[in-house]
Amino acid sequence: MSDGLKRRDFLKVVGASGAGAGVLGCSTEKVERLLPYVVPPEEITPGVATWYTTVCGECEAGCGMWVRTREGRVVKVEGNPEHPVSQGSLCSRGHSSLQALYNPDRFTGPMLRQGEELQPISWEDAEQMVAERLTSAGGYYLLTGSVGSSLSGLMSDFAGGTGGQVVRYDPLAEAPLREASRIVFGRDVIPWYDLEEARSLVSFGADFLESWLSPVRDGRGFARMSGVDEEGRKGHFAFVGSRLSLTGQNADEWLPIQPGTEALVALAMANVVGGGPNAGPYRNIVAAYNPENVAGIVGIEAERIRELAERFAEGPSLALGPGIAGLHRGATAANVAVAILNAVAGNVGRTIHYDAPQLDAPSTGFAPMQQAIEAMSAGDVGAVLVHGSNPAFALPASSGFREAFGSVPFKVSFASAMDETAAEADLILPDRHFLESWGDTSSRPGQWAVQQPTMRPVPHFDSKQTGDVLLSVATQMGQDLGAETFYEYLRGRWTDLAATAGAADADAFWRESLQAGLAQVGTTPSGSPATLRQPDRGLAFDPPEFDGAGELYLMVYPSSRYGDGALNANRPWLQELPDPVSKIAWHSWVEMHPNRAETLGVRDGDVVALATEHGSVEAPVWTYPGIREDVIALPMGGGHTSAGRFADGNGVNALDLLPSEAEALSGGLVHFVTKVDVMPTGAR
């Protein structure tokens, strides 16, 4: 794989022909010609672009896409202006998806491990092997990451009928936010945020312009919220956190609080806003916190907290929680405090919606994966299938995943290219890229979108859609899941959607959905705001404990370019794209306040060793005044060892410094949890 493509194979790749909704495929027999067609197919005019609608598969936000093809090859992607999430925009990861489609390190076909090497195997033999091994496994796990609605349903049907268990894992899951929504309002959901309707916005650390939940949606909403209106007024944005992210750099005001004290500030603000009569079952909690008695703990003057609360009370306003970088041992309580603040300010049903939430958002905690690791380590698991996830990279080394995974008798990866988890697998069944595949998403109740193939599969890579593989294996195991192909399975679900939508002709409904890129099924709920309810969990709002005896707190935060970087770091576009804060590309760095750097005797570019109770790494220093003096920060996404020629050896894996610990209330993987020792190495 690392030897690169030969010229003949490269011409096969760039000569790939396309197919999509209503478009017939064209011959690939002459794909080695630089001019693909002498007599072009009827549906393709050489030199004239053809466009398709689909859904971006880079994250769970579900942005609608327009895909431009030339001579049957995808050449550009853009946001679908008709889609309610993207509205014509895409993030950098969405644009970089082309490099995953044409990644020269993709597997050329299914591979079977024989000794220390991977050898080709036919799809028929590979699927038969999976069926036989799962039948005799006595129980297995299907570990998955981000998948669309229908594929998720198929996975559940497949595992339920064949004795398996689906475990979803995403290192950027907002499990504390979801659990807080359930505790405060009885809604087990990730709420929908409407930033553009707010005039006063407070983020308690959520990096909504970078990597949190739906950056394209929130970036657009923030631009409208902070823009000057017809009367010459603009919204006010305050960032409350220990480090200024790109989001924080766009704030009008920064409150650099003591790490882990978001809940105290939120409750003190709720007290000022009018938490007594409006806080319902939380009135006594809110009454116990005011700006004066929390100021000394959070490190912010009481008057600043009071002024911020008074501006927030003028409304319309919106408060956002700590986000992933602030996922500490008290993250659920912090999100509860923010939810109470939104409730007493009258924001629920106005700028934050629980009745029409964000669907498919990453919100499953680390606890199910932790249980799976324990079962694998105990020898209770006969097989593991991994799809759309790279837990060998995206889990702390202290989790023991690699050792547990290695002890499983039969391991299958659906990775389209090598990654750290696939490197340990016994069988690799390469999935197709989302631009070559069928699927669907539902970003909000009533809103559905189809993911359709925008070109024929790149011919050099003999891939197969995971849904088709699961259906084939299920049939060989004697299970009838109602379809022979995933396309049939998908169409069956959309026939049901057509009936729900009241469409007289299901085929016409399908064609219209493909053309528009969106289908409205029923109405999106609105107008029934959630109400505060009595909490059913014990809550502690005091600052959480941090591991270690040092004085420096370690903040591990998602990269604005890669997110967690588990599946997308092998793209030169993303590697070359400078970080919007540090302007650094291709490697990791340690963010440190200039005063702290002076105390340690280091400057920009000096390599320091970071050590916690859980691991150690080395990285160069980048001094940054937008961080507290007692905090240092390290981005996620670097440190790959088996992800491809562009990712391997660049930077360090920040997760290796963290414990393998689930937050008590939500089960989410804690990120902001430890202190760190910093030692200069003398290297640059």
480, amino acid identity:
D
Alpha carbon distance 404, 223 (integer Å): 46
For helices 506-516 and 486-500, give the axis angle rounded to 10 degrees: 100
Sorted by where each begins, the domain ranges of the chain are: 111-171+365-439+463-487, 175-358, 552-680
Strands 552-557 and 117-120 turn out to be unpaired
Tens of pLDDT, residue by residue over 561-592, are: 999 999 999 999 999 999 999 999 999 999 99
Contact 654, 635 (CB under 8 A): yes
Structure-token pair, residue 394: 């995206």
Name the pTM for this structure.
0.91
Q: What pLDDT is attached to residue 244?
A: 96
pLDDT by residue (tens digit) across 368-381?
A: 999 999 999 999 99
Instruction: List the one residue out of 376, 428, 381 whose CA is nearest residue 402.
Output: 376
Kindly calculate the radius of gyration of the chain based on its CA atoms and give it in whole angstroms: 25
The reported pLDDT for the residue numbered 360 is 84
Q: How confident is the model at residue 6 (pLDDT cuts 50, 70, 90)?
A: low
Integer Cα distance of 248 and 241 in angstroms: 8
Whole-angstrom Cα distance, residue 672 to residue 487?
43
Q: Which residues contact 193 (CB under 8 A, 6 or more apart)?
A: 208, 213, 217, 218, 221, 318, 320, 351, 352, 353, 358
Task: With beta carbons less than 8 A apart as the criterion, state whether 68 and 49 touch.
Answer: yes
Tokens of 348: 């629920």
- Please state which architecture CATH assigns to domain 175-358: 3-Layer(aba) Sandwich (3.40)
Helix (H) or strand (E) holding 14, with range, is: helix 7-14
Convert the pLDDT of each residue in 79-94 to its tens digit: 999 999 999 999 999 9
Domain 552-680 in CATH 2.40.40.20? The answer is yes
| Minimum mean pLDDT range among 237-251, 537-551, 594-608 | 537-551
Give the integer Cα–Cα distance in Å for 484 and 482: 7
Q: State the average pLDDT over residues 469-487.
A: 96
Q: Peptide bond preceding 316: is omega within 30 degrees of 0, i.e. cis?
A: yes
Does domain 111-171+365-439+463-487 fall under CATH 3.90.440.10? My reply is: no
Pairing mode, if any, of strands 190-193 and 164-168? unpaired
- Residues 144, 475, 417: CA angle, nearest 5 degrees: 35
pLDDT grade for 24, boundaries at 50, 70 and 90: very low
Give the model confidence (pLDDT) of 257-269 as tens digits.
Answer: 999 999 999 999 9
Nearest to 59 by CA among 465, 399, 378, 389: 389
Q: What three-state secondary structure class fits 178?
A: helix
User: Which amino acid would we find at residue 110?
Assistant: P
How do beta strands 236-240 and 410-413 pair?
A: unpaired
CA–CA distance, 451 with 455 (Å, rounded to integer): 12
Determine the straight-line distance between the first and last CA of the chain, rounded to whole angstroms. Answer: 33
In angstroms, the CA 12 to CA 34 distance is 10
Q: Which residues, in sequence order, are bridge partners of residue 680?
A: 608
Instruction: Give the SS3 label for residue 96.
Output: helix
What pLDDT band is residue 245 in, cutting at 50, 70 and 90? very high
Quick check: bond before 256 cis, omega within 30? no
* Strands 50-55 and 616-623, bridge-based pairing: unpaired
Bridge partner list, 236? 200
For 132-143, what is each residue's pLDDT tens digit?
999 999 899 999
Residue that wins the pLDDT comparison between 211 and 309 = 309
